[in-house]
Structure 1
Amino acid sequence: MARIAYILLCHKDPEAIIKQAERLTATGDYISIHFDARAKPEHFFMLQEVLGPNPNVAFSEKRIKCGWGEWSLVEATLHAVQTAVKNFPRASHFYMLSGDCMVIKSSEYIHEFLDDNDVDFIESFDFFESDWIKTGMKSERLIYRHWFNERTQKRRFYATFNVQKKLALTREIPADIQVMIGSQWWCLRRQTIEAVLHFTESRRDVMRFFKTTWIPDETFFQTIVRHLVPTNEIRTRTLTFLMFTDYGMPLTFYNDHYDLLISQDYLFARKISPDALDLKERLGQLYAEKGVDFQISAEGPSLFKFLTGRGRQGKRFASRFWETESTLGRDRELMLIVCKKWHVAKRLLEKIDQATVHPTIAYLFNEESTPLPDLGGIQSTLGKRTRHRRALMRMLFDYYNTNQMVVCLDPSAMDLMQDFFGDRSITRMLEIQCEFTDDYLTGHSIRIGLAGEQTSPETLERLLPTIRRDILSESDRIRDAEFENVSRMVQSGTEDEHVSALVEFLHVPEEKAREIARTDYLFAD
């Protein structure tokens, strides 16, 4: 059975570290602790006094003063790893943790998982080809030397960087090394760890190189492991669940995140708030439990993106307004069918196409696969269509040789509506207001990745009202915009009401509108 040596880097909160160490070693595993040399001495003495008698706990034989972005973090990790290898010969796996991490599965589940997966878990993406680095320095992290801490010695950091850049004092990456990048939270097998330690002793050139790179904790182990271990024995992922906010800061979890955390396809999570005492207590009890059946739904990242993204719709920030193109044309009429249930809008659009001469296009700004003519590449991606929406629509009017066109939009596309209604052309809207059952919203949340087949009923119970409110708020924003020429079809409305809305929207005779309104199963799910 797997035996884990946890590698813990920490610098504060000794009481929490003591609880974490006691919890992780209670089921037979080990922990090697590196406590930052910058931390308060009395805190380290407390750790030694309480945890020293525990044979499954070891302290790094050398303590380093650590700084963000520095080699010191890798150096501290290596010292803790060396201590673990020396003191725990029965350890089969080495798992990197921080003091902010918390276990989110039972010990039984974790050991079975590692027994079933004889591989190394470490993010390791190609440094230059991947988009792991979103902003800031990229190649400059490697080709220039960085001796100073960017946060505490900013002037020296950028002064030495600018001098090297001005004088073109670049350096070569070791020829046989492909630099990789990824999260620092890994889980490696013993043979891999021993190979890494041997590599650090035999390849001094590589060690010198990484010692002056910037943020080497994101590249050192990721590169060395990929260099030493066959690809089929590496899973390019972390077993620690972490998410980042829009500002690049780690998301913090609190007491009410228990159900979300235990349903994720991970073994640990960070960062847990120091104030989330109930969460820590429940997760601590979970670790020692036997026979727990975990329902993995793994909807955390998509759910977080959805909930935070709601602020984009004018609740926290002004709506984003893309560049303004020239007018579609004064004599042109753009008719927008706005509906959250895309299948309903498409059924109506198909009937309009059969009953009128107007060209019709489905959700061209929402679905990449929407059939469009070749317009020189402007139609090739959703990004291009959205950025050049007026140019795209002008070209479509020209392509179909028409002054009238019907297209579908999702109600969330407020920026598109504002742009088209602000044009000198004539824009009319038909908003279709549908009814949404819990079953439909559940299926909708699964289709868009907010939930999975195994998502617990409790999570769905909290999620569905949020989705429902979000849909209603989209309709409210359309009303609040006070667009001209807006008609509405309500699912519960009568046929005559639907006919009246279609006459106003399409400017067709009543008989034609009634033919369209009688579309079979228009609102059926």
Structure 2
Amino acid sequence: MSAARIGFVMLAHVELPRAGQLARHLASRGFPVVIHLDRKVPISQAEALRSALRDLANVLFAPQYACGWGLWSMVEATQASAALLLEAMPAVRHVALISGDSLPLAPVTELADFLNRYPQTDFIESVTVQDVPWTIGGLQQERFTLRFPFSWRTQRKLFDRYVNLQRRTGFRRRIPQGIEPHLGSQWWCLTRDSLEAILADPRRSEFDRYFSKVWIPDESYFQTLVRRVSVSIESRSLMLSKFDAQGKPFTFYDDHLDILRNSDRFLVRKVWPRATKLYEVLLSEQPARHAQSPAHPHRIEKVFDEAILRGRDGRQGLFMQSRFPADTWSAGKTAAPYFVFQGYDEAVDGFAKWLSRWTGARVHGHLFDWQSVPFADGARMFNGGLPADPALRDHDPRGFLRNLLWNGRGETQCFQMAPYDRQDVNEEMIWDSNAHISVISGAWAIKLFKSDLPFEAARKEAAWMQRVEDHFLGQLRRRGLPSTIRVTSLADFIENPMTHLQDTLDVLTPLSRRHLSEAPKLVDLAGFGDFLQRLTNAGMKPYLTGDIPHDSELVASVVPTDTAASGRA
């Protein structure tokens, strides 16, 4: 077998030293290379590449075209380069189109041997738009029936306006008779016979005029016309090239070497020019893929499928400048489940310490207190450098909550809320599937009862707190909320605190099946019933507390602190 039975057309426009390194690797092993340099490449860089490869007789340079993404000039450059290769290298039987940032995944002799087994087969991805609607940007069949004289990248406004004008006027181009448009990867490997037939077709001028106004013709010109001339088509590319959800190619770095070992392709694009390890390995005699290690292309597909999903949906609870979704974003707004308790620390003495001891969770205080940010254990700084600074918290309360949960993932986060705290994050929490909100309604009255406020001031505060909590409870009663919500009145909680606290433990530690064997210490409520009655007599009825009995009955109903019977025995 002659090594020169396969030749390469290389399109290069940046990082020319790396392109030259690849060309030398191929040419020094007997494989001819024709390089097309974009006309926009600085003359000094182009001359440096020509000088560096001057000693290689089988490296040629094609006439230059000023290429633009998605424009006809890409096809013109490919046509001119392929024509030069076919004319100068009569022994070549297959022509592979590659880019300057490509690298071989296997010894090039293996690729030559492989093609030698399929002398009449064209390896080119070629599918109809109707069968595989994979295109990005909303233009599928229209790319063949509208005109696209403007660059999508550099003339976006003109591009969009001209497309809309054609749609409004009902303009449609006539597809040349005898062809059915196909799409596929730009990187192909065609036989000499097929390539010569396309370039020497009597109708080439007609086809060129038509495709010159097709959108991204380098992904449809050869893919369509090869169907007219090929003896045998294998609709796949021999080049590994992956794309993200926006249609942009993934770049391969040094740490992708193990992934590339699983590929069954012969070439890879697009390699980062400073991926020194990849260049050293892939341009050496020890290629990425070894014969004794079978390829597993499905593993690569899995990695990139996950990468596409990650790029499109992000990581739950992670927000940053490059990914700041709208309120309707489907991915989770927070990183992990969290638990919000309203009224519990008013009713249970030392609730935070008790909850932390029983569950192992990180239990913060009232994180949205107007004057402070009481992290658990009095910390002044939380994970990730999140400071206990009310001013910074209040600049973006929702962002503060999201950062707290992102930085604290791996550990259950709990915090207290109350009507006398800031209410900025209520709407955020009730629409968050990670939020578990437990409320003892009316428990704020205990705080007022314990305060030293004059009665009239306490009455006004009670009226305000009840309005705030009533509004919050109204939010919690909305239909279709994804958050988990538990609401009980203060009267119900006092009547049987063990049951409610056991439910709390079951939610936080569903797998532990731990049952309370000791009742927590409730706050001293002596005189509380009379306080509520005074509020009612003054015209402020605390209806959210539930039906609290008069003082003597209330004190008798409170569970004593040394009770050892479990409410869930």
TM-score by shorter chain over 0.5: yes
Partner of 2:16: 14
For residue 32 of structure 1, report the CA deviation from its aligned partner: 0.6
| Contact 2:75–2:221 (CA under 8 A) maintained in structure 1 | yes
1:320 and 2:334 are equivalent in the alignment: no
In structure 2, relative to structure 1, the CA distance for the partners of 1:105 and 1:169 (3 Å cut) is same
Letter matched to residue 262 of structure 1:
R
- Give the TM-score normalised by the residue count of structure 1: 0.59
Partner of 2:214: 213
Partner of 1:40: 42
1:171 and 2:173 are equivalent in the alignment: yes
| Contact 2:101–2:269 (CA under 8 A) maintained in structure 1 | yes
In structure 2, relative to structure 1, the CA distance for the partners of 1:103 and 1:15 (3 Å cut) is same
SS at match of 2:270: coil
Partner of 1:113: 114
Gaps of 5+ in 2: 320-324, 333-431, 437-479, 487-503, 515-569
**Distance across 2 between alignment mates of 1:53 and 1:321:** 57
**Distance across 2 between alignment mates of 1:128 and 1:31:** 36
Gaps of 5+ in 1: 323-413, 426-480, 490-496, 499-525
For residue 228 of structure 1, report the CA deviation from its aligned partner: 1.7
Q: How does 1:106-505 map to 2 (within 5 A)?
A: 106-118=107-119, 119-199=121-201, 201-230=202-231, 233-286=232-285, 293-298=292-297, 299-306=299-306, 309=309, 312=314, 314-316=316-318, 320=330, 422=483, 484=507, 487-488=510-511
In structure 2, relative to structure 1, the CA distance for the partners of 1:88 and 1:142 (3 Å cut) is same
SS at match of 2:295: coil
| Contact 2:146–2:163 (CA under 8 A) maintained in structure 1 | yes
| Contact 1:320–1:415 (CA under 8 A) maintained in structure 2 | no
| Contact 1:122–1:236 (CA under 8 A) maintained in structure 2 | yes
Letter matched to residue 277 of structure 2:
D
**Distance across 2 between alignment mates of 1:246 and 1:289:** 27
| Contact 2:9–2:95 (CA under 8 A) maintained in structure 1 | yes
For residue 21 of structure 1, report the CA deviation from its aligned partner: 0.7
Which has the higher mean CA deviation after the structures are superposed, 298-307 or 28-37? 298-307
**Distance across 2 between alignment mates of 1:308 and 1:140:** 26
Partner of 1:63: 64
- Give the TM-score normalised by the residue count of structure 2: 0.55
Q: Which has the higher contact order (CA 8 A, sep 6+)?
A: 1
In structure 2, relative to structure 1, the CA distance for the partners of 1:284 and 1:415 (3 Å cut) is farther
Letter matched to residue 330 of structure 2:
R
SS at match of 1:175: coil
For residue 70 of structure 1, report the CA deviation from its aligned partner: 0.5
1:80 and 2:93 are equivalent in the alignment: no
| Contact 2:39–2:67 (CA under 8 A) maintained in structure 1 | yes
For residue 42 of structure 1, report the CA deviation from its aligned partner: 1.0
In structure 2, relative to structure 1, the CA distance for the partners of 1:18 and 1:312 (3 Å cut) is closer
In structure 2, relative to structure 1, the CA distance for the partners of 1:288 and 1:86 (3 Å cut) is farther
In structure 2, relative to structure 1, the CA distance for the partners of 1:56 and 1:129 (3 Å cut) is same
Partner of 1:92: 93
| Contact 2:28–2:56 (CA under 8 A) maintained in structure 1 | no
| Contact 1:421–1:483 (CA under 8 A) maintained in structure 2 | no
For residue 77 of structure 1, report the CA deviation from its aligned partner: 0.4
**Distance across 2 between alignment mates of 1:259 and 1:159:** 46
SS at match of 2:283: helix
Deviations 1:335-371 (A, max 9, x none): xxxxxxxxxxxxxxxxxxxxxxxxxxxxxxxxxxxxx
SS at match of 2:177: coil
SS at match of 2:208: helix
Letter matched to residue 302 of structure 2:
S
Letter matched to residue 300 of structure 1:
I
**Distance across 1 between alignment mates of 2:46 and 2:234:** 35
**Distance across 2 between alignment mates of 1:422 and 1:83:** 66
Letter matched to residue 99 of structure 1:
G
Partner of 1:329: none
**Distance across 2 between alignment mates of 1:59 and 1:212:** 27
| Contact 1:321–1:415 (CA under 8 A) maintained in structure 2 | no
| Contact 1:106–1:289 (CA under 8 A) maintained in structure 2 | no
**Distance across 1 between alignment mates of 2:291 and 2:163:** 53
Letter matched to residue 53 of structure 2:
L
**Distance across 1 between alignment mates of 2:126 and 2:237:** 10
**Distance across 2 between alignment mates of 1:155 and 1:247:** 19
Letter matched to residue 257 of structure 1:
H
For residue 193 of structure 1, report the CA deviation from its aligned partner: 1.1
For residue 295 of structure 1, report the CA deviation from its aligned partner: 2.3
Task: Name the larger-Rg structure.
Answer: 2
**Distance across 2 between alignment mates of 1:106 and 1:315:** 45
**Distance across 2 between alignment mates of 1:26 and 1:293:** 26
Letter matched to residue 27 of structure 2:
T
**Distance across 1 between alignment mates of 2:505 and 2:9:** 59
**Distance across 2 between alignment mates of 1:144 and 1:300:** 36
For residue 287 of structure 1, report the CA deviation from its aligned partner: 6.6
| Contact 1:132–1:181 (CA under 8 A) maintained in structure 2 | no
| Contact 1:69–1:150 (CA under 8 A) maintained in structure 2 | yes
Identity %: 30
| Contact 1:182–1:222 (CA under 8 A) maintained in structure 2 | yes
| Contact 1:264–1:300 (CA under 8 A) maintained in structure 2 | yes
| Contact 2:105–2:288 (CA under 8 A) maintained in structure 1 | no
SS at match of 1:94: strand
Letter matched to residue 211 of structure 1:
S
SS at match of 1:7: strand
In structure 2, relative to structure 1, the CA distance for the partners of 1:40 and 1:223 (3 Å cut) is same
**Distance across 2 between alignment mates of 1:95 and 1:154:** 32
**Distance across 1 between alignment mates of 2:47 and 2:264:** 37
Partner of 2:56: 54
Letter matched to residue 129 of structure 2:
F
In structure 2, relative to structure 1, the CA distance for the partners of 1:272 and 1:483 (3 Å cut) is farther
For residue 72 of structure 1, report the CA deviation from its aligned partner: 0.4
SS at match of 1:286: coil
Structure 1 vs Structure 2 CA RMSD: 3.3
**Distance across 2 between alignment mates of 1:302 and 1:291:** 21
